[in-house]
Structure 1
């Protein structure tokens, strides 16, 4: 998706050319692009047997959906589990914990 947002409109060949070595096989990339289209992330315009793909969702909307899926799939839908993982596995600093607490506190103040 990053490359499609960057290119705005692209053929599979264009996307393949932008990828670093080792490049995936054309058919693998085409399959991934078609899956993104089926999920509603990409649109396409036909030029004979060739398709030009373009994004249907913004980076923000895509990121939000992906983040929610990670929370559901890997953390049982629990933000507490996410934060616990960050603290235990990623070495989050005391300063970062304090910043997170401020964000949480400010969010609750805005909702009240």
Structure 2
């Protein structure tokens, strides 16, 4: 799966939220300064070429929809991050987050609860 640029990610986040959208709806959901309509249309066509979007045609209007879920994209992106920067180890990734103090006490407690639950459900 080809990586998305920050602009493409922003567009995909809007389309995931809306579930399907015409270019004008995406444009309306972008923050200022908004790109020209034609620039946005070019980005959306690029997302189609990359396999992230498809469309239904209604006359001359195209309604775009995602070909993969936001969750699938997150999984792929996280897997790539862990493989490239943490030697393929989720433990190394989580250790980094804990050591960098990027997690609140509440976050740590919730993660511990999730880990304990997962450990209980693992078969030996």
TM-score above 0.5, yes or no: yes
Could you say which residue in structure 1 is the equivalent of 2:14?
A: 3
User: Structure 1 residue 27: deviation in Å?
Assistant: 4.2
Structure 1 Cα separation of the partners of residues 113 and 17 of structure 2: 34
Asked if residue 42 in structure 1 is aligned to residue 42 in structure 2, the reply is no
Structure 2 Cα separation of the partners of residues 32 and 15 of structure 1: 11
Structure 2 Cα separation of the partners of residues 6 and 100 of structure 1: 26
User: Structure 1 residue 52: deviation in Å?
Assistant: 1.8
User: Structure 1 residue 63: deviation in Å?
Assistant: 2.5
TM-score after normalising by structure 2: 0.66
Structure 2 Cα separation of the partners of residues 73 and 26 of structure 1: 36
Give structure 2 stretches of 5+ with no counterpart.
Answer: 1-11
Could you say which residue in structure 1 is the equivalent of 2:74?
A: 63
User: Structure 1 residue 80: deviation in Å?
Assistant: 2.4
Query: Considering only aligned residues, what root-mean-square deviation do their CA atoms show, in Å?
Result: 2.7
Secondary structure of 2:83's partner? helix
Secondary structure of 1:52's partner? strand
Give structure 1 stretches of 5+ with no counterpart.
Answer: none
Task: Report the count of equivalent residues.
Answer: 112
**Aligned 1:22-33 pairs, distance under 5 A:** 22-33=33-44
